[in-house]
Each structure stands twice: as C-alpha cells, then as structure tokens.
Amino acid sequence: MKKLTPSGQSHLLPQRSVLSLSLQAALLGVTLTASLAQAQQDGASGDKTLAPVLVTGAAIAETATGQVTGYLAKRSATATKTDTPLIETPQSVSVVTADQIEAQGAKSLRDVVGYTPGVGAQGNGYRDADNLILRGFAVDNGSIRRDGLLSPGNTFTGSSEPFGLERVDVLRGAASLLYGAAEPGGIINLVTKRPTTESLHDIGLETGSYKRKQITGDFGGALNEDGSLAFRLTVLKRNSDTFIDFVPDNRLYIAPALTWKPSAATSVTLLAHYQKSRYNRQWGVAPEGSLLFNPHGKLPRELYIGEPGDSKQDTHKSYAVLVEQKLNEQNRFNFSLRHSDVKMNWDYAGRDSLADDLRTLNRFGVKRMEQVKAWTMDSNLQSYFSTGALAHQVVVGVDASDADNQRVRRYQFIAPLDIFAPVYGSQPYGDDGADGYKRKQRAVGLYAQDQIKFDQRWVAVLGARRDQVKISGSSYFADSWSSETNKANTGRLGLVYLADNGLAPYLSFSQSFQPEGDVDRLGKRFKPTKGDQYEAGVRYQPKNSNTMLSAAVYQLTQSNVLSPDPVNTDYSVQLGEVRARGLELEAHADLSRALRLIASYTYTDAEITKASAADPGSLGLRQPNTPRSMASAWADYQFSAAGLPGLRAGGGVRYVGSTVSAGGSYKVPSYTVLDAGVNFQQGHWKYALTVKNLGDRHYIAECGGGYCNYGDPRQVLLSANYRW
C-alpha cells in the first residue's frame, strides 16, 4: 500500500495483465491500493512483465470558503479578506466546519457555536433570532455577515439555517477595519454552500422529539464537460413542534447556486436563498416559580404565556453575485453584491407584570410588522508584490450598504393568564394605541490593509479605514424625517512570529465602532460607540499535522456607552464605559486516524467601568448573560480497529458558569449538559442519532428584566441519508 503526498508525489507500481485499483479517502491523505492478479502464462516464455505505470495524485487543497474534511480548518478569509492560514492571523478566529455541524446535530446558529470559546447566548428564550454574546458584548444581525457581506435584519426578523452553510467563522474582538459598523465583541461570518464540480447527491430524512419531520436535499456537480459551469441546490422542509406548548418550528429553505468559470482567471458565482419560517417567540416565564421560590409551586418548562392562535412568520429572500477576476500574476479584483428582503408578520400576546398573588400574569396583545430591504456591496483589489526583503499582500477596497427598515406595532387588550393553571382562548380586543418608525441607513467605507511577510518568520498586518454612516428616521405614520451623519476612523495592527517548531505567538490592536440611533434631551444624535482591543496570543500547529492549539488574552473596552442623564433620567448621555478582559483556549486535534477532539475554555471578566452620576449603582456590575467561565469538549471515534469502519460515535460536555441578569437583579446558577452522537455509514446510506442534553438537565439558561428562560430539555433526533 502506497501513499500519495499532498504535493502530488508519484510512485511506480509494477503491472501485470490484470490491474484493479480502488481509491479510498483517508483522514490525513489519499491512499491508493493496488491488487495484482495472477498473470497469464505464456508457455515456455513464463511470466511477462509490462512496463511500469506512473500513478500520480494530489490531495484537494483547502480554501478559505471551500469544504473542509473533519473539524480542523487551517485557512480563513474572515479576518483579512484574503485566503490566509489561520496560524498567520494576529487575532482570534474559530471555524466550525460543515462536518462538525452535521456530527453534533446543530439545528441553530447557537448550536453551531456551542463548542466555540468566547461565545454565549444573549437571550435563550428568543430562539427565533441569532442573538449571541461575543467577549461579553451582545451580537445580533448587525455583526453577522454572510459571505463577508452585511446580513441585514434585526432582532425580530428570524434566524439562519445551518444546513445551508459550508462553515461558520467566528472572528472575536473589534473588527471594523474590514467590516465597518459592528459591535466590539466581533464578527460571525456565515459561508454559504458553493457549487462543486464533483458530483453530489444527498437526500435526507429526519425525525425525533416534538413530532419533528424533516427532509433535506443537497445536489451539485458540473453542467458541462470542461467543468466551467457548476451548480449547487440545497433544500430543506421541516414541520416540528418544540418543547414549549403551541410553539412550532416550521421552515422551508431553498438555496440554488451557480458558478461560471469562462477561463482560469475569471469566476462568477450566483447565490440565492429563500427561507420561510413559522416560530412563535416564547417571552419567558416569571422568575417566581422558575429561578425563585413561589408558594404555588414550580413552573413547567413547556409553559406558553401567549395564545395557541399566535402566529409569527418571517420570510427571507436573498440574491448575490460574487466575482473574482485575476488581472495578472500580481493583481486580483473581487466584487460582491447582495440584495436582501426580510419581512416578518407577527400576532402575539406578550407578558406584562406578575400580580401580587404570584400567579396572575398581566398581558397585552400586539399585531406587528417588520421589514428590512437592503443592498450590500464590497469590492477590493488585492495586490502581491515585494519591496526588497518584504513580501506584501495589499487589499484596498470600498464597501457600502443601503438599508430601509420599517416597523409598526398595534397594541390591544387581552385577558390575564393564570400561569399555574392556564386557560387559553382569550382574544385580543380594543385599541391601545400604536407605534412605529421608518429608518434608512446609508453607509460607505474605504479600507486598506497590508499583510507583510519578511524573513519567512514574521507576518505584520496593518490597516486603516474611514466610514461614513447616514441614519434617517421618521414616524411610521407621518413623514417627519430627521437625519444624522456619523464618521469614524478605525484601524488594526498585528504581528505574528512563525517558529520552526509550529509555534506562532502574536500581538494585535484593533478597533470598532457602532452608530447610535437615538438622541439626547437636546435632540442631538449620539456619537458612535467605539471599541479598542489589545490581544496577545499563540497558536501551535505542528508541521504536517491535523492539530491546532490556540490561546489568547485580551482587553476590550467600549466607550461612548449610553448612561442615564443626570439632568433628566428619561434621556441618556454618553458617559458610560464597558471593559472586558479574558482568556480563551481552544484545541482542534486529530489524535489518530480514528479519534478527533475539540475543546475550549473561556474566562471573561466584563463589567461597567464608567457611568453617569445618575447611575452610580451600575459601576462594577457584570455584563448580563456573560459567565466568567465556560468550557466544552467534544470527541468522536471511528471503530475501524474493531472491524466497523462505518461506525463513528462521539460525545460532548458543555459547562456554562453563573451569570447575572441586566441590572444585576438575578443571579442564574451554572449548569452542565451532555451531548452525544453516533452515525453508521454502509454503502450509499448513512444513519445518525444525535442527542442534545443527554441527561435531560433541568436548568435556567438566562434571565432578563422580569423574566427567565429554561434551557432546552433532552432532544433526540434520528436521520437517514442516501448519498450517491
């Protein structure tokens, strides 16, 4: 048995009259097995040996947006907008591959990043939105990118579908240099599944807890003989309940894609997706009866405080074009453009106050509409050249976005609910007023970055950016427009040392900014908040291995934070500051051809360090929903040594430390949950069983202002895929 090296090294194999070849993909390379048959006899002449046959091959090279086999990605473009090895990147980046998403049975973006350091859930009850926390700071759609472009929407306009993703890159810390307005905690970049010239056919069926029924399809391949045209079609249809009464989880997702490569220098990719979801939001339950004592007993996890007739439906439409043009050996032009249309309609009964009897919940009815329409664009020129001993990789570009956001809410009255003996069937009535707005945001940014490599051991990254953001707003019911233009300068500096033994220590400084859409008591719009981050870290990647270890420490400070106005506390002033300090450890390792491991640990100390005189009690308060410690580990094993090469089993543990609610009102205890997964592949079939919260741990995930949310109970999913 001979191995083909990634560099394509050839081997000579003797050949007789019959030669059968079988090609097997192995974890660390490509193995070619040759079986030689008995040669024909030729009378007195004996065996006849033919001339040697030269067999060559090469492993598929990893790219920053392509498929990754296993859990370890070694390249990313999220931190630099260039296809760069992670070990040469002076900032913390984690990559969750499609293989990891599938093996762990991730069904939401929160599931996807559940084993990633520095990432937490912002509000567990809002399972219809991608609300996360990075390094102590809230992250929603304003800091989520899709294929490097802004993913427009807001807290209420839905969540992402993991089945449509090739990978998820998590860039932690201030990152406005290449992305403009964003929260200081970082950027989450969703990489869409792309067309492939390799034939791909996959049909899957899934069933499990809460009457879940799902069918998926993933198809791709070349459309002509030379492979210059390739396609991908990804589809999903799901009908399911959830552990909360009267809350469905239904979705339709369709994502066609086409790539045209008329020459080796040109690539044009068209991406589109349509997503329609129905999922009522659970507004949480009262702390009295979940986190705190209630004389009436314990509130059940399945309690729904709305009405069975509530309906929340969101629709996402997106069309994108990605162009790569190689101008010559030194210059490459990239252009990306996406149009998005997100609309949400929602009728619901929301929670109000809990009565003094600790069982009667006052409610209100709402009819609500949200719509976001947006264009986002990014174009840049990448140049490769040398100046003496310095090798430069320069990116100069411009990005822009044009988003229109509308919101209207019409309030009604609705009967209270006995949360310990709920009787449903109340209908909203009357008219309790309405509110709404129209908002336009136009943003343009110019950026330049230089990655400088010298002495083959040092990599320096430096860049600067200039942004201009214009925000215009009006009441939804009248054209009363006002506008404000914000300008910001941000930058980044970083230095990496590449040692011969695979160690790569680095230092970096980066900045961020985020516009504030409100005004002070004098009617003046607020300045953008600013983030400054200092980070020191080290990665370790032994040569020719599938192991990467990383560690990072940082200090991240957000200034211009809103705090109550001492003159009139109905308004705010920008005298606040939040500081986060932390440690993050991460490991991805293929310990053998059969055993794979990922592990992480996070320590975060995030607190309010400055406030106005009207809010002295907030000084020193921890950031809400941000545990000081989190840890996770996942391992899986392929049972080849036991004669079952098609069987792979894995398990994981996630620990989340105690947190506090906003304002420090409640302390939420820590919790630990176990996950497990097993799959068996035989021929064209692959069967999988995944279990979330294996021990059915009963815990509180988070608490907000006057409510708490239970964590997900045990969920069992069984799937079968036919691939050919």
So what's the pLDDT on residue 123? 59
So what's the pLDDT on residue 647? 96
3-state secondary structure 616-673: HHHCCCECCCCCCEEEEEEEEEEECCCCEEEEEEEEEEEEECCEECHHHCCEECCEEE
Cβ(157)–Cβ(314) under 8 Å? yes
Cβ(516)–Cβ(525) under 8 Å? yes
Q: How far is CA 584 from CA 117, 630, 669, in A?
A: 6, 10, 22
The arithmetic mean of pLDDT across residues 392-399, rounded, is 98
Taking the C-alpha atoms of residue 633 and residue 653, their distance in angstroms, rounded to an integer, is: 6
So what's the pLDDT on residue 6? 35
Q: Half-sphere exposure of 279 toward its Cβ, with a 13 Å CA cutoff?
A: 27
So what's the pLDDT on residue 125? 54
pLDDT in tens, 513-526: 999 877 888 888 78
Q: How far is CA 585 from CA 75, 83, 103, 551, 602, in A?
A: 19, 24, 22, 5, 7
Q: Reduce the DSSP state of residue 541 to 3 states and report it.
A: coil
So what's the pLDDT on residue 35? 36
Detail the DSSP E strand segments found in 240-306. 250-263, 266-278
pLDDT in tens, 434-450: 999 999 999 999 999 99
Q: Which of 54-58, 200-204, 392-396 has the lowest mean pLDDT?
A: 54-58
Residue 292 has pLDDT above 70, yes or no: yes
So what's the pLDDT on residue 126? 62
Cβ(582)–Cβ(553) under 8 Å? yes
The arithmetic mean of pLDDT across residues 705-710, rounded, is 86
What are the tokens at 561? 């934070």
Cβ(700)–Cβ(665) under 8 Å? no
Residue 490 has pLDDT above 80, yes or no: yes
pLDDT in tens, 297-312: 999 999 999 999 888 8
The arithmetic mean of pLDDT across residues 397-412, rounded, is 96
The arithmetic mean of pLDDT across residues 704-709, rounded, is 84
What type of residue sits at position 161? E
So what's the pLDDT on residue 54? 40
Domains, in order of start, for the chain: 1-38 (no CATH), 81-192 (2.170.130.10), 200-723 (2.40.170.20)
What type of residue sits at position 78? T
Residue-averaged pLDDT of the chain: 89
Bridge partners (DSSP) of residue 204 are 216, 721
So what's the pLDDT on residue 280? 84
So what's the pLDDT on residue 172? 97
The arithmetic mean of pLDDT across residues 669-683, rounded, is 96
Residue 34 has pLDDT above 90, yes or no: no
Residue 204 has pLDDT above 50, yes or no: yes
Residue 153 has pLDDT above 90, yes or no: no
Residue 266 has pLDDT above 90, yes or no: yes
Binned at pLDDT 50, 70 and 90, residue 129 comes out as confident
Bridge partners (DSSP) of residue 564 are 572
So what's the pLDDT on residue 666? 87
The arithmetic mean of pLDDT across residues 262-285, rounded, is 93
So what's the pLDDT on residue 704? 81
What type of residue sits at position 538? V
Taking the C-alpha atoms of residue 280 and residue 529, their distance in angstroms, rounded to an integer, is: 33
So what's the pLDDT on residue 124? 52
pLDDT in tens, 35-80: 333 333 344 344 444 444 444 444 568 899 988 988 999 999 999 9
Higher pLDDT, 663 or 484: 484
So what's the pLDDT on residue 557? 98
So what's the pLDDT on residue 60? 62
Check the CA dihedral 426-428-432-438 and report its sign. positive
Residue 677 has pLDDT above 50, yes or no: yes
The arithmetic mean of pLDDT across residues 535-555, rounded, is 96
Cβ burial of 590 (10 Å; 0-12, 13-18, 19+) is middle
So what's the pLDDT on residue 576? 93
pLDDT in tens, 346-388: 999 989 999 999 999 999 999 999 999 999 999 999 999 999 9
